[in-house]
Amino acid sequence: MAKFDFDLCVIGGGAAGLTAASGASQLGMRVLLAERDPHLGGDCLHYGCVPSKTLIKTAKVRRLMERAADFGLPCSDLPPVDFQSVSSRIRSVIETIQRHDSVDRFCSLGVQVEFGPARFLDEHQVEIGARKFSAARFLVATGSSAAIPGIPGLESVPFLTNREIFSLDRLPGSLVILGAGPVACELGQAFSRLGSKVTLLQRSGRILSGEDADMASVVERALLDEGVDIRLGCSVEQVRPAPEGVEVAFLQDGRSASVAGERLLVALGRRANVEGLGLADAGVDYSAKGLAVDTRMRTSRKHIFAAGDVTGQHQFTHAAGYEGGIVVANAAMRLPRRADYKYMPRCTYTEPELAGIGRNEKDCLREGIGYSVVVEHFSSNDRAQAEHETRGKIKLLLDKRERPLGVQIVGPHAGELAGEWIAALNGKVGLSTLAGAVHPYPTLSEINKRVAGSIYADKIFSDRVRKILHFLFRYQGKACNIPK
């Protein structure tokens, strides 16, 4: 008779939990999946990636309609946006994807699904509702929630987070956003394009402070050009109700100021969901930042794993899915597979998008790594010119031996363009191979070939090479010289 009810208990039905539960079950483990919400899919599906990208596409189409004249088309006045229709489309997309994350599908894979908050009773037993279950191994994948700062008066206004913003019954006439990170910039631009007057309040001196300044500035310029009001260097002091809806008082450059809006969105980062799990009863070390794990995703209790946002580290859905796979290898197959984040990609889905893989200049300076930079601008790309999307550039960082350290792209479809670099860097493909690859013409992806090829251009077409060829073949040199 088995010592435990299950081989693996997964707590959390988001990207990490679903990846681990399906993989482990298909490898023969008896798996229990616990989810506190009444549906599987996690924040990404219901309150994050999927609804935000759906909203962003809707806003992009609206913006494109306004830009008709840029493409030689007649302009027309557009009616106000009916946000209920926008919300309806968002719900439709979620429901379609939800079918893939349904209870029936996971049951067909052999996973038992239980809904309700899970709490450890000891290191091998959890309570879900009024029922108790035991397991040999556990995965904590409870994700994260919007971090709510202790700003005086914030509790007195009905502020929004990512859980409420996509289901509003109408478009706010004005929206104040606390923060200017990826979520704030994406949603700020989207709501501005739909017709809201948007103000971003940022504590630091620029938006997207985790990115290189020259790359973030391209996004900032785009937001400003579209009418987003960006206030930098702001220290929020108080939030209070106002006739318009809400008023935020702050200090900027030592001076008191305030801004009012119909609604307030808090987008100041995420906090790990560790409350109420009974982690101390299981002997698991954790803090407000999340669960500490080793490279095999093991907590201080080696049979209890953690993955995804709850670790407080790489808070991307694709990172959570990757970590779920690491857990399957270690928990189910007993292989000592270790997580490697060297080439973990990221993308901010503003327009233009800002994507990156590997180190950026901030990382290199912090780590004391010597580097050189090669840049290619979208204004030199024929497809970008044809599509009237010439803002931005690609920036390749090289070490002293001219090996790639990282790539950042700010421009049209940057997230998609990064895919070639993800494959190349993870597959250790040489830059000469990228430079020699043939791309369809005209495509945006030619910019990847151009930036790789520019490394060799100065060497190939140098004075030294010309002199050698002249000596060998008696070439005559230039046929035309522009007078100085």
pLDDT along the chain (484 residues), means of 10: 91 97 97 96 96 98 96 94 96 95 95 97 95 98 96 95 95 98 98 98 96 98 98 96 95 94 97 96 95 97 98 95 98 94 97 98 96 98 97 97 96 98 95 95 97 90 89 89 76
pTM value is 0.94
Nearest-angstrom CA–CA distance, 46 and 40? 9
- Walk me through the domains of the chain, giving residue ranges and CATH numbers: 6-40+102-146+271-331 (3.50.50.60), 154-269 (3.50.50.60), 346-463 (3.30.390.30)
Where do we find the tokens 């407000």? Answer: 288
* pLDDT at residue 189, rounded to an integer: 98
Where do we find the tokens 């090669």? Answer: 374
List Cβ neighbours of 25 (8 Å cut-off, separation of 6 or more).
31, 106, 109, 110, 111
Nearest-angstrom CA–CA distance, 358 and 421? 10
Tell me the helices (H) and strands (E) count for the chain, helix number first.
14, 23
* pLDDT at residue 184, rounded to an integer: 98
* pLDDT at residue 459, rounded to an integer: 84
* pLDDT at residue 1, rounded to an integer: 56
- Amino acid 226 reads E
Residue 219 · residue 350 · CB < 8 Å: yes
Q: What three-state secondary structure class fits 452?
A: helix
* pLDDT at residue 326, rounded to an integer: 98
Where do we find the tokens 């794990």? Answer: 293
